[in-house]
Amino acid sequence: MTEFLVEMRDITKRFPGVLALANVKFNLRSGIVHSLMGENGAGKSTLMKILAGVYTLDEGEILINGEPVTIASPRDGLANGISMIHQELMFVPELTAAENIYLGRELRTKMGLISKKRMIESAQAVFDRWNININAATPMKLLSVAQSQMVEIAKAIAFDSKIIIMDEPTSAITEREVERLHNIIRQLREAGTTVIYITHKMDEVFAISDEITVFRDGAWVASEKAANMNREKLIGLMVGRELNQLFPKVDAKVGDVILEVENLSRGNVVKNVSFSVRRGEILGFAGLMGSGRSEVLETLFGIFPADSGVIKINGKSVKIREPHQAIDSGIGLLTEDRKKTGIMGVLSVGENMSIASLTKYSIGGVLRKRKIDEVCEAQRRTLDLKTPSLNQLIENLSGGNQQKVLISRWLLTDPDILIIDEPTRGIDVGAKAEIHRLMGELAKQGKAIIMVSSEMPEILGMSDRIVVMCDGSLVGEINRADATQEKIMELATRFSVEVVA
Amino acid sequence: MEKTSLDTAALQLMLKKFNWRNFLREYMIIGILIIFVAALAFMTEGNSIAPVNLVNVVRQVSAIGIIGVGMTFVIITLGIDLSVGSIVGLAAVVSASLVQMPGGSLVKFAGIDLPVIVGILAGLAVGALAGFTNGFLIARFRLAPFIATLGMMSIARGIAYIYTGDGRPFSDLKPDFNYFGQGYLFNDPDVKLSGIPLPVVIFIAVAAVATFVLNYTKFGRYIYAIGGNEVAARVSGIRIPRVTIIIYTISGLLAGICGVLLAARIGSGNATLGTGIELDAITAVIIGGTSFKGGVGKIWGTVVGALLIGVINNGLDLLSVSPFLQIVVKGCIIIVAIIIDERKNSKAS
C-alpha cells in the first residue's frame, strides 16, 4: 500500500494568458486535516478544483490509493469520494435543506415519485448524528451562511465522501461559528474522513491542522507537520520574505472630536447607538456577524436612512439620508462586499477610482480628463497599485489591488472621516500589511478612521479604541491598552445574558 | 543607424503589446458592415451603392439612429425603453397638428396660424414629457424599466390616436416644416443629389453630442457607473433617481425629434408613425456592441449598428425579398448579436 491517500503529480493548469499551476505536487495522508495556505492567486483553490473535478488538468496525474484516476467532472470527483465545499456556497434557495442535500439523486417512494418525507428523515438523521442544529425541512434561503455551510458538509457526508475540501469556509462566518465548524471537522477526522482546509487565517491553521502545505505563485513551496511550523515561518514561506511586524500601528496625534453620533436607530437592527470619533483616531467596531456593526455605519452613511438620532460633524448637526449627503459632509465608506457594493467590474481602474470625486474634477459638468489622469496616476504610485494601466478593467485585478482602488476612490474625495468595513477581507498577506500601513498613515494625517473587522488580530492591532456591538446595541468600549480578545468576546456575547434577564 | 534600430525595437514592442483579439472584437462590427455593403453591391450589380440609393439608406437609418442614441444611454444603465416608437407617433401628430396650412383640409386647429417653430418645439416637448414620465415611474416607484415603458408604449400610442380624433393623419403641412424632413444641407440647386439630407445632419449632430456626453462629462461617467454596479454607484454619491429621470427624458426627447422629422419627411402627422421602431433601435444598440449586462457601450457602435440594419433592409428590398422574410432576418440578427455579446462576456471573465 502507498503512504498517501491522494498523490497529485506535476499538475499544470493554464487559463487564457495565465499559468495558474506549474508542475505542482501535492500529497495527502489519510485521516488528517491538511491545510493549504498561500496568498491569493497562489493556486491552492485551482489545485483543489482540479482534484474535485471542477477544472480539468492540462498536464500531470492524480493517484488515489496509488491507482491513477481520471477526474474530468465533479461527478467523477464524487465517484472517487471527493466533495468540495466552495467559498461561495451553491444551493437552491427555494428548496429545503434536505432537498438540497439530495439534489440530483432524490430519494423516492415505492411508486418512483420524489419522497420529501424520506429525504427530510434521512437528512435529519445526518444532522442529528453530527450535532448539527438545523431542521432539515427549513428552506435554504432562511438559513445563515454558517448553517448553509453545515448543510453542505452534511451533503458531503451523505455522499459518503472520503475527502472533503473546504475552500475558505470561515470567510463569512463569526468566530463562534468557526469554533462549531472546527468541532465538526475534528469529528469528521475521528470518523476517518480526510479534510483539506483552505484558508488565509493563521489562527485557524494552527487550531485545526495536522499538516500544512504552502503554495506561492502557482507552485508548491513546502509541506510540513503543523507541529513543526510557526506563524513567522509560515508567513515567510507564503510571501517569500519575513514580515517583521504584522500591524505597524503608527502613533498618530489624536485631536478634537470630529464626529458624534447620538441615539442612532433604525428598525430593530440599530438600537440607540451613540459614539464619537476624533481626528487621528482609529475606532474599531467589533462584534459578531449580524451584531449590527455594518448596519450602524451604513445608516450613518445614508445607505439606509435612520429612523431617529443625531449626527454631528465638528459639533454641527448634519442631515444624512442619502450617501451623497454623507460624502458632502466629508464621510467616505468603503463597503464590506467589494464585488456587490464596491467595484464596477466592467469599468476601468481609473473610472472606478475617480467616480466619487468627479464633481471636484469637472467644470460645468465637463470632465477635466488630464487632471483626473494625473490624480489617479498619483494614487496608483502612492498605493503601489499593481495594474498594467489605469485603463485596465478593475475586474481583472486581484482582490487586494481592487481594495486599493476603492481606498483611492475615497481618498480622492478627501474625507475627514473614512469608514472601512472589513478592510482586508479576502486579501493576501502582502496587500493586507500595505492596507494596514496606509490606514495608519491616514490617521496620522488627521483623518478619523472607523473600522469594522471580524478578525480579532486586526481589531486589536489597528484600533486606538474599540467599541463592541451586540444585537444592534453598542454594549461597551475598550481602550487599546486594555483590549484583549477575551474582553471583546465577553462583550460581544452579552446578549445571551440579556435574553435570560 | 542606431536610432532606426531603436525605433524598430519600439515598434516591435508596440506590436507585441497590441492586443489583436481585443481590436478585432471591438471593431468587428465595422468589418461586418463593409462585408455586407460589398456583398449586396455585388448581388445587386452595383445598384445598392448608387448615390441615389445610398442617400436613401442613410436617411432611413437616421430615424433608427437618433432613437438608438437614446436607447444606448438607457441600455448602458441596464434599462430598456419600449415606448419610443409610440412617442414618435404622438410627437408626430402633435407637431403636425400645429403646422397645418390654414385653409387646408382636416385642420385640427382651424383659424390658428402659429410659427413652425412652435409645432416643432411642441413635438419635442411631448416626447421629453413622456420620457420624463418613464423616468419618474422608474426612479420613484421603482418600476422595472420594461414595465414602465411598456405601459407608456400603450398610453402614448393611444393618446396619439385619440388626438387625431378619427385616426386620420394631419396633412397639408407648411413647407417650412416639411423642409426639416425633405431638405438638404449644402445643397447646390444646379447639381442633382447634392448636399446632405437634414435628418442625416441632425442624426450626426445628435450622435456627436451624445459621444461627447458619454466620454467627456460627469453625467456620462455616471451612466456607465450605474450600469456597471448601481449599488456601488449610489454608495459613491451618485443620485440614481436624478440620473435615471434625465436618461429617460433624453430618450423621449430624441423620440420626439424623430417624430417631428418623420412627419416632416412624409408631410403628414400619422398616429401610426414609428410603430416597431423601438425594436430596430434596440437591435442597432445591441449589434453595436452595447452590452445587455450594463456598463458597456459606445455611440459609434450604435451608429454602425443602425447603418448595418439600414443596409440589410435596403439590400433585401432591392433583391425583392419578401418583407415577411425580412422580419425573420432581423430577428436572426438580434439573436446572433446577443450570442456574440454573451461570448464576449464569458471570455472576459
CB contact under 8 A, B217 and A355: no
From the list B241, B240, B232, B206, the residue with the least C-alpha distance to B71 is B206
Complete DSSP assignment for A294-348? HHHHHHHTTSS--SEEEEEETTEEE--SSHHHHHHTTEEEE-S-IIIII--TTSB
Predicted local confidence at residue B1, as pLDDT: 41
- Say if residue A203 is exposed, middle or buried (CB neighbours under 10 Å; 0-12, 13-18, 19+): middle
- Residue A303: closest C-alpha in chain B: B235
Interface check A347 vs B, CB under 8 A: yes
Residue A385 Cα, gap to closest chain B Cα (Å): 20
d(CA B290, CA A385) in angstroms, rounded, equals 29
What sign does the dihedral A435-A440-A446-A449 (CA atoms) show?
positive
Q: What does the pLDDT read at residue A15?
A: 73
In order of their start, the domains of chain A are: 6-239 (3.40.50.300), 257-500 (3.40.50.300)
Instruction: Provide CATH code, domain B28-348.
Output: 1.10.3470
Residue A168 C-alpha, separation from nearest chain B C-alpha, in angstroms: 21
Residue of A nearest to B347 (CA): A16
Domain assignments of chain B as residue spans, ordered by start: 28-348
Amino acid (one-letter) located at A411: L
Q: Which residue has the cell 455605519?
A: A297
Residues of chain B scoring pLDDT < 50: 1-4, 347-349
Q: Which of B19-34 are b and which e, b meaning 16 or more Cβ less than 10 Å from the residue's Cβ?
A: eeeeeebeeebeeebe
Q: Are residues B225 and A365, on separate chains, in Cβ contact within 8 Å? A: no
Overall residue count recorded for chain A in this entry: 501
B305 touches chain A (CB under 8 A): no
Residues of B in contact with A415 (CB under 8 A): none
Alpha carbon of B218 to those of A334, A361, A460, B222: distances in Å?
22, 9, 41, 6
- Give the pLDDT score at B78: 95
Does the distance separating the beta carbons of A345 and B231 come in below 8 Å? Answer: no
- Per-residue pLDDT at A265: 94
Question: How is residue A380 written as a grid cell?
Answer: 496608483
Sign for the pseudo-dihedral over CA of A295, A301, A307, A310: positive
Residues 6+ apart with CB under 8 A from B311: B33, B36, B37, B40, B48, B57
The answer to whether A266 and A306 have CB atoms below 8 angstroms apart is yes
Instruction: Residue A330: list chain B partners with CB under 8 A.
Output: none
Low pLDDT (below 50) residues in chain A = 242-244, 496-501
pLDDT at B155: 97
The one-character DSSP state at A96 is B
User: How many Cβ pairs within 8 Å bridge chains A and B?
Assistant: 87
Grid coordinates representing A7?
498523490
Task: Note whether A362 contacts B: Cβ–Cβ < 8 A.
Answer: yes
Give me the residues of B, 259-298, that contact A with CB < 8 A.
291, 293-296
The minimal CB distance from A347 to the residues B228, B237, B348 is found for B228
Residue A360: its chain B contacts at CB < 8 A? none
Is A342's CB within 8 Å of B291's CB?
A: no
Q: Is B233 on the interface with A (CB under 8 A)?
A: yes
Name A61's bridge partners: A9
Question: How far A419 CA sits from the closest chain B CA (Å)?
Answer: 12
Chain A residues close to B238, C-beta within 8 Å:
324, 355
pLDDT tens sequence across A357-414: 999 999 999 999 999 999 999 999 988 888 888 998 998 888 888 999 999 999 999 9
| Grid cell locating A60 | 500531470
The separation between CA A289 and the C-alpha centre of its own chain, rounded to angstroms, equals 12
Chain B residues lying within 8 Å of A365, measured CB to CB? 217-219
CA angle A183–A35–A243, rounded 5-degree value? 115
pLDDT digits (tens, 9 = 90+) for A429-446: 778 888 888 899 999 999
Taking every pair of C-alpha atoms in chain B, what is the biggest distance, in angstroms?
Answer: 84
Question: H helices of A21-140, where?
Answer: 44-52, 74-79, 97-101, 116-129
Can you tell me the distance from the alpha carbon of A447 to that of A341, in angstroms, rounded to the nearest whole number?
A: 23
Residues of B in contact with A340 (CB under 8 A): 229, 231-232
8 A C-beta contact, residue A294 and residue A288: no
ipTM: 0.86
C-alpha grid cell, residue B253: 426627447
Distance in angstroms (rounded) separating the CA atoms of residues A413 and A435: 18
Cα–Cα distances in angstroms (integers) from residue B122 to residues A481, B117, B118, B184, in the given order:
72, 8, 6, 23
Q: How far is residue A70's CA from residue A2's CA, in Å, rounded to a whole number?
A: 18
Phi-psi sector, A196: left (phi>0), alpha (psi -120 to 50), beta: beta
| Contact across the interface for B218 and A359, Cβ inside 8 Å | yes
Residue among B221, B225, B232 whose CB faces A342 most closely: B232
Of B218, B224, B235, the CB nearest to A303: B235
Contact B229 A359 (CB under 8 A): no
Q: Is the pTM of this model over 0.80?
A: no
What residues of A are in contact with residue B232 (Cβ under 8 Å)? 335, 340-344
pLDDT at A244: 47
